[in-house]
Every structure is written in structure tokens, then in C-alpha cells.
Structure 1
Amino acid sequence: MLDQTEVLHHLLQGSPLLFFAYSVSASQVLYVNEAYEQLFPGASRDTATQDLPRLLSYLPAEDQAYALTCFTDLANGEMHDDLLLRLQPQPEAPLRWLNVRAHRAVATDGQVLLCGTVQDVTVDHEYTRNADKFMAKKNTTLEILSHDLAGPLNMLQHLAGFFQERTQSLHDPQLEKMVLVMQETCRDSVNLIREFVDSEFAESASVQLKRARVDLTANLRQVMDTYQRSEHLVAKHFSFSSTPEAVYIELDNNKFLQVINNLLSNAIKFTREGGHISLAVAQHPQHVLVTVADDGVGIPEQFQPVLFDRFTRARRPGLRGEKTTGLGMSIIQTLVQLHGGTIWFESREGVGTTFYIKLPT
């Protein structure tokens, strides 16, 4: 009868996952299965310890620092989510993505070990990245549509109200009914898209975060590109800046982009035609700071202390009559806090508003 050790050996050797055991105490790779040589062509299981510096050099510089920090934390007993690392052995080689799962263990002889798995998730990552890209574009497009439609439809609704006043003396039931249909159609059409966007955003706060390491700069630039291409639709000017050019951070990409979309949507609501809205990212030693600024009408001073309350009395229609539920800022704060971050703002009436989001790195 096979003993447990032999069964475990066959399981590990037949797995496409790379299993490893590394002794922190001895700075030595104790075990890797056959998948090691499949994942890293040209490498040998017999020289796994000597291969480590070379394999580390295959990671981009920022990923090298990230990996070393995470493994040091693990060795010291701190927990980490899955580590998503980029791998590029040669400059011209296609970029691959590796998912590393590891945990700390203590052997019977007292050695501190890091044990876990490495998996090539390039296909899954590219699929998710494309899904996130189109999800963000869809949300941004809906935001733009809701503002683009609001202006003319609200104007038609006001014109219908004017016609209603001027035709009351005619006492024509059919005409009155037609004017009423015009008013209701305009109002319902504007609310339809707005309610869809708001309800989808509201659901985000009740769903567990799915964190992954992403290039925040690239994702935010993509969102702003869509707004910039639509400047003529909302009659606003958009700008984006980032220092440095790439900022990597662990977050739920979809939910955070919804936060940014909602802040940009609010900025559009309360910025006059021809106004300016900017989005910026800055990396600091211990945090990343994201700012959304506008030169709009600002937030009245009496509303500022209660802006983040649920169903806040600070809710007010936009400059073009855009509807608001009063839930948006509360959900934004909840999602930022779920990421371990903080959000605050500065605002002056007639000057504009700037929102700040501070996220830990």
C-alpha cells in the first residue's frame, strides 16, 4: 500500500502548478516540482537556489521591489494576498503574469519556511484586463450619455411646461394630454439612464472586494481619454496627470474606477459650460494620492459637514437639472474605506471643489 509521502510526491509531480519550499533560515530552495522547469525553460530543479537572482532579474524593477517586500513580510509572519507579478526574460519577449501564493511555516528543526505555488495566469489576466477595460468604458460612456441627454431633454421639459401654461385657456383636453406626455417622456428618459448608473454603483458597496495589483495610472488615463474625446458633448475640458508615469497598487479595479467615475460625474453636474475638470495621481513613500478637481460652483458651506451622510440633505440637482439620490457620496466613502483609504474635500462656492483620495501602498 502506498504511504502518504509517495502519494503526495505523485500529486505534486503531475501538477501544472509550481510547488516550492524555501528555507528563509538557510536562504535555500528546499523543493520545487517538475513544473519549475516547464514554467522557466532552461532552468533546472537542481540549481533552483542559484537561479533565484536570475529569475528575479526577469521581473521589472518595480515588481522586484514589490516581491522582495512581500516575501520579507511573509517571512516575518505578516499575511499577504496573492502576489501578481510580471515576468519578461527578454525585452522583446511577450509579458507574462505569474500568480504567487505563499505562507510561512516552521519546520520541526526550527527553520522558517516559505511554502506555496506559482502559476502562469497570463491568459486569465489578459481576459480580466480586457473585461475591466470594457466595463470601465461602458460606465464612463453611460455617465457621459446621462449628462449629454439631460440638457436638451430638460430644456424640452421646460418648453412643455411653458406650452402648458400658454394653452390652459384653450381648455383642449387632447392638447393638454399631449403636453403632459411630452413632460413625462422627457423626465423619464433622463432618469432612466441615471437610475441605471446609480443602481449599478449602489450595488458595488455590498460586494466583497476582489483585489489585484494594477497600474492605476494606466487605468485612470483610459477613463479620462473617454471623457476627453467627449468634451464636445458635455461642454467641459478634462485633463489628467500622474507622477510617476506608472503607479502600481493593490485594489479592486472595477469598484475604484466606479468611485472615480462618480466623482467625475458630480464634477460635471456642478461645473458650468466651458469649465475645467482634472484628475491627478501622485505616488508618495507610504501612500498614493488621487485628486479630482473642478472649477465649478462649489459646495455650499452648510452642506459640507453632512456631504458623506446617507440620504444627505446636501443632495441637490445639477446645473442642468440632473437627478441625485443622496447616496453617491456615502457609497464613495464606503468603497474608499474598504480599500483602507480615506477621502476628504476642499470647496469654496464660486471657485470649485477638489476631492482627495489617499490609498495605502
Structure 2
Amino acid sequence: MNQPDILHQIGQQSPKVLFQYNLTEHKFDYLSPAFYEIWEITASQGQELPQRLLDSVVDEDRPALARCWKKLLKGEHVDQIARIEQRGLKRYMRCLAYPIFDGDQQVVALAGMAENVTQQQEFINYLAEFGQRKNSALEMVMHDLRGPLAIVKSVTTLLRQDIQDNKKEELAHYTDIIEKACVQCTNLIQDLLNEEHLKSPEVYVNKSRVNMSEQVRDVVEFYQKGQMVQQQFVLQLPEEPLMVELDLIKFSQILNNLISNSIKFTPSTGTITIQAYQDGEWAVLEHSDSGIGIPEHLLPKVFERRSIASRQGLNGEESRGLGLAIVFELVRLHGGTISVQSQEQEGTSFTIRLPKYGA
């Protein structure tokens, strides 16, 4: 049995496309029957019109194929995955090709196999996306745990001093603050480990109907009781409940990051103002401070992760360039928008618009 017969018998049985391409005549000498299952044209049509194969490759992947072609002509083998599109359907194809040499060691043909790896590649893409989301979530939680833990550290210092001064009446007050900080940390961790989050690369948002003004008061009170904030808080909240569908943990993260950012860049004699109101079908939260502001050329970058807009705080606090990026993402997950206005030495204002309950 000669070699072409062996190749033919393998090709008849294999779900992979086996091929041999003649570089002198610019056509396929052999294409196995699996070719039709992928390209939906007969092997004879493919042999006659090899350009149709290249035409089916998506534009973004053609430069990679051009590089592979050059390598093959130099006598190197290639293993490349490329996307093809037919009738609006995209598929991933893996092609493993080898150069065939004549007696003068000149490349005269190409041979190899191609297979549909769409299912495998989509699973790889899913794992990559899931891993990226997992890393992002871990990064977010590690960043946002720093706030509550900093308050715990501050309160333990106060506890130690009051114990020395025999001010036992303050102990219950400080214990309550520590307990709330620990609950915040636990909730953040539990939210990360939520079963829904582990099942999907998308962040799980657990909304409930709440009074947004009340949530703002609770978070601000937490900072004030911890005696971490020297700046003056000014709350401008409506008397009537401002009901919004919120994920309480994620909304607390939004507020914590905005407040922490203001503390970092506002002098101790400055003010931090939080205003909430209704605007049609939207609930609006305006967070502003009288801090050092943001240079105009950095404003377009403030919501980027690890952006060039990240700077040291007034007291040398390090910035990891995550806080405002986290705020932007969490606002987006609530179906809202966030914008920023700032002038150097005059302060910064963030405006968050969230859809009201039932809107």
C-alpha cells in the first residue's frame, strides 16, 4: 500500500481535515472529507478555489496567518488557532502545518491537519474571563477591607488609652464600633464567596429596596464614631425616604471609597459634603469635598484601574489606583452613572445617578 492510499484511508475516517497543498500549482493535492463539515463546500471546490478559505478568516486574525505562511516558506512548521466566519457564525480553527521539501531542500508543498476547536477555545476563554473576574473581586475586597480595619486599629488605640485613664464608660461605645467594622469585613468576604459569584464570571448584585439617605447616615456615623475623620461632614439629605434598589454591601463600598478618597486629599480643616435628592426617575448622590482637587489633565483617567491619576495623599498615604475604579464598576452594576468635576485647590465633586425603585 502506497503512502497516498494510507493518507486517503486516514482522511476518510478522521473528523479532522487532512490536507496537502501544492505550492507550485497553488492548489490542494488532497483534502479529506471532513473539510466539507467545517467549510460547507466540497473538497473539489476547495481545491479549485483555495482563496475562499482565506476569505472566511476574520480580518483580525489574517496578519497572524500571514506570519505563519512566511514561517512555512522558510521551512518551519506552525501551530495556529484562527477564527473563521461563515453565515454570521464564528468558529475557532486550529491548523497544524508542515513544510514538504524536494531533493534540493526547497519547500514545494505544505501538509498537515485542521480541526474545529470552538468548544475548547470558548471554554478556555470562559476560564480566562472567570479568572480575571476572580482576581478583580479579590483585589476589590482586599482594597475595601483596609477602611474598616483602619477604623478598628484607630479604636483599639483609643481603647488602650481609655483603659489607662480608667474611662470604662467608653468601652461599650468602642466595642460597638469594632463589632460594626468586623461585620463590614465579614460581609465583604461573604459577598466574594457568594455561591452565585462562584458560578459565574459576572459580579452578583443582590438588590433590595432601601432608603438611600439612611444608608448614607449609617456609613458617615461609622466614620465619625471611629474618630478617624478630622474633616467636618455636612449631610444634605431629604426628610422623606429616598427609596432605591441597592446592593447594601456594594453601596457601602461606594461610599467608603469616596469618603476615604476625600479624607486622603482634604485638609483636616476642610469639609466633606454628601447630598442626596430625587431627579425624576433617578436618585442622585453628590459627594464633594474642599480638598486639593484633581488636575484637569488627569480627570479623564480617574476611573481607570491603576491609572496615572493616582497620587499620594496629603499625609503621604499610598494610593493603589483602585478606589475610584471600584466605585465606577459598582455604580455601573447598579445601572447608574458617575461623573466628576474638580478644580485644583478648590475641591472635587462626584455625582452618582441611580435608577429609583420601580423606575
Give the alignment's TM-score, normalised by structure 1: 0.48
Is the radius of gyration larger for structure 1 or structure 2?
2
Give the alignment's TM-score, normalised by structure 2: 0.48
